[in-house]
Amino acid sequence: MLNGKRILLIVAGGIAAFKSQELIRLLRKRGAAVRCVLTEAGAEFVTPLSLQALTEDRVYSDMFSLTDESEMGHIQLSRDADLLVVAPATANLLARMAAGLADDLASTVLLATDKPVLAAPAMNVRMWTHAATAANVATLRGRGVAFVGPNEGVMACNEFGPGRMSEPEEIVAAIEALLAKGRPLAGKRALVTSGPTREAIDPVRYISNHSSGKQGHAIATALACLGAEVTLVSGPVAIADPPGLKVVKVESADEMLAACLQPGAVDVAVCAAAVADWKAARPASAKLKKKPGAAPPSLELAPNPDILATLSKAGPKRPKLVVGFAAETENLVANAVDKRRRKGCDWIVANDVSPAAGTFGGERNTVHLVSAGGVEEWPTLAKEEVAARLADRIADHLGRPRPAAAAE
Ligand code: CTP
């Protein structure tokens, strides 16, 4: 419920603006008071009158209106809310937010606010995937702006892909989660590895494993939801990139290590990837062919770099907190305790990856958290819940702001 919460809803110019009306209805049903800022472009899609009727409050649009500025200055408007929600957040408004422009009431209010901001992007798929938008979203995430969506689907322009604004129910859920949790990782940088690696034997064959990337991707999303600026380094996976994060796609362990060393200093590194321990010592440049009557070729292996151990022993560049995973099929806890010591990381999330446990590719995970303080057994949870719990623990460890500070 959102009883007594004050939401300032900024409606920018996109076809998804029609969904903002349903969003207002749902928010008010949950007890929130909603006040709207409508941009000039937004007014091409919804009328101030309909927003006014739904909010039962006046709608603010004009930066230089004498009435607005005398009754409710833009500073006051931005402060007199518990949360600012930008829905739809167009590519243009995100770019102006990232650049710190204050050239209309919406952007000025967003620049002037000291309250949490949630953006629900909505735009054409090519605009969403454009490097400029990705950079703007990363910049805003780094400043603590939270994102919900966009979803993937057929768009108003008949193209398919990510760019559809989240449904009003999803935005409400994100608002409730945000108001409940705050943004304890705002301003913190996180690195997450996820998925398997692929080690080429020849141009058509490789060594790999069953990792789906679901757990690592969920952790990246959970950290971002708490406000962290996340770089997700992912091996080849079949799942979608989490929206709004910096995603670096790699194939081999060597590439994954190089990508992990790129972002520079990070506050926390979570190595959830199932990195292949070995690679072909000499990958063939052409496809290996069967020779009639000849014995099968033997494969000479060479060790891969250990990314977790490298980050854990990075000297002054070591992240403040390094979290590894232990994928085990037997002696789970004992192996994990030993692994934590050998790799030099702070925490190990130990999970059973024997086929009976259904961890690889499955939706749920049963983990133990191993730290210097001991071993904690967690119940079987959805991978998203494991991720949310871990992100919460990371926020506690990195110094969650005191509730009074977070609420104000
Ligand atoms: N890891 C890594 N680089 C490697 C191997 C593993 O960064 N070359 C990381 C994984 O991301 C995970 C942790 O180390 O966080 C443990 O991975 P796991 O596969 O359980 O252990 P291994 O190091 O491969 O050891 P073993 O094969 O003996 O279980």
Per-residue pLDDT of 36-74, as tens digits, reads 999 999 999 999 999 999 999 999 998 776 565 655 677
Q: What is the CATH number of the domain that holds 285?
A: 3.40.50.10300
Residues 381 and 235 in one domain: yes
Q: Read off the CATH number of the domain in which 134 is found.
A: 3.40.50.1950
Q: Phi first, then psi: give them for residue 255, nearest 5 degrees.
A: -65, -40
Domain boundary among 181, 213, 233: 181
199 and 93, same structural domain?
no
Nearest CA to ligand 1 atom 4: 306
Residue 404 lies in a domain: no
Tokens standing for residue 278: 């070995």
User: Active-site residues: which are they?
Assistant: 157
Beta strands in 288-373 (DSSP E): 301-303, 321-328, 347-352, 364-365, 367-371
Task: Please state the domain count of the chain.
Answer: 2
Residue 222 shares a structural domain with residue 255: yes
Number of CB atoms found within 10 A of residue 183's CB:
21
Give yes or no: residues 141 and 272 share one domain. Answer: no
Alpha-carbon distance of 110 to 35, in angstroms, equals 14
- Are residue 53 and residue 134 in the same domain, yes or no? yes
Same domain, 173 and 302: no
State which of 126, 151, 181 marks the end of a domain.
Answer: 181
**Dist. CA 326 → ligand 1 center (Å):** 7
Quote the domain boundaries for residue 119.
6-181
Task: For the chain, give the percent of residues with pLDDT over 90.
Answer: 70
- Quote the CA–CA distance of 233 and 241 in Å, as a whole number: 11
In tens, the pLDDT along 268-311 reads 999 999 999 999 999 999 999 998 999 998 999 999 999 999 99
Same domain (yes/no): 295, 174: no
Give the pTM. Answer: 0.67
Q: What is the pLDDT of residue 72?
A: 60
Q: Looking at 115, 146, 181, which one is the last position of a domain? A: 181
Task: Assess if residue 21 is contained within a domain.
Answer: yes
Tell whether ligand 1 has an atom less than 6 A from the beta carbon of residue 345. Answer: no
- Residues 357-406 have pLDDT tens digits of 888 878 788 999 999 999 999 998 878 779 989 999 999 999 865 443 33
Q: Report the Cα 14 to chain-centroid distance in Å.
A: 24
Question: Residues 46, 132: one domain?
Answer: yes
Cα(192) to centroid(ligand 1), Å:
14
The phi, psi pair for 189, rounded to 5°, reads: -110, 135
Q: Report d(CA 219, CA 225) in Å as an integer.
A: 10
Query: Does 346 contact ligand 1 (Cβ within 6 A)?
Result: no
